[in-house]
Chain A
Amino acid sequence: GAVVSQHPSWVICKSGTSVKIECRSLDFQATTMFWYRQFPKQSLMLMATSNEGSKATYEQGVEKDKFLINHASLTLSTLTVTSAHPEDSSFYICSAKVRDRLMWEQYFGPGTRLTVT
């Protein structure tokens, strides 16, 4: 299957600072990547869809100025949490859509656990 990596795997930051999370497709090109957030005991909630070379599409209720997404290449998307607050502490997971399949599949990265103190 396709391999998606994320970096860092966990991060602790102080309230008010910004954190950047990277998502890379290692063995395939991903025109579309997705960013999810998962709080404890809850399911994955899609935050935004990231398309290479264009602006991200955010889900309702997700602040685009707070969660900055950049998809500069076919293998890299980044999520920057700006002015992080404790309520932003969560498990952030990216996924990538496999490009060359007729029926596409979505593969997940290992996730980044963010703790804001």
Chain B
Amino acid sequence: QKEVEQNSGPLSVPEGAIASLNCTYSDRGSQSFFWYRQYSGKSPELIMFIYSNGDKEDGRFTAQLNKASQYVSLLIRDSQPSDSATYLCAVKRGGGNKLTFGTGTQLKVEL
């Protein structure tokens, strides 16, 4: 079992729709959760991080965390073509330095 699992996609959504990206993790010691966006040929860019159960909103993005079920999700409202990228989920154990990444979900927002 991979430590961090994501559906590789591609996930296709029409412009203006809500894109829902999911991530599950296996280490119950994970305390911090991050979503990165990576455009083709570029390095990852931090979108959001979440530490507590529940929802965290930032603009069009909402991160959701459920530690009991060991999943974290990212919702993108009003999806735009510029949101088309690969979204990487990363987790970190409490007190540690290391980020463990999933393989990413490719999102395509279609006109």
Residues of A that sit less than 8 Å from B by CB: 1, 32, 34, 42-46, 49, 93, 97, 103, 105-111, 113
Contacts and interface: CB of A to CB of B under 8 A. Distances in A.
Contacts of A1: 46
A13 to B, nearest CB: 20
Interface string B41-66: 11111100101000000000000000
Contacts of A44: 44, 88, 101
B46 A106 contact: yes
Contacts of B43: 93, 108-111
B97 A108 contact: no
A79 to B, nearest CB: 14
A43 B46 contact: no
A54 to B, nearest CB: 13
B93 to A, nearest CB: 13
Output the residue of B41, B88, B99, B100 with the most chain A CB within 10 A. Answer: B99
B-side interface size class = 20 to 34
Nearest to A93: B43
B49 A105 contact: yes
Output the residue of B34, B43, B101 with the most chain A CB within 10 A. Answer: B43
A1 B97 CA distance: 19
B101 A105 contact: no
B80 interface: no
Contacts of A109: 43
Contact of B88 (A34, A43, A49, A110): A43
Contacts of B36: 108
18 contacts: A34-B97, A34-B99, A42-B103, A43-B101, A43-B104, A44-B88, A45-B101, A46-B98, A49-B98, A103-B49, A103-B51, A106-B34, A107-B46, A108-B36, A108-B43, A108-B44, A108-B46, A113-B41
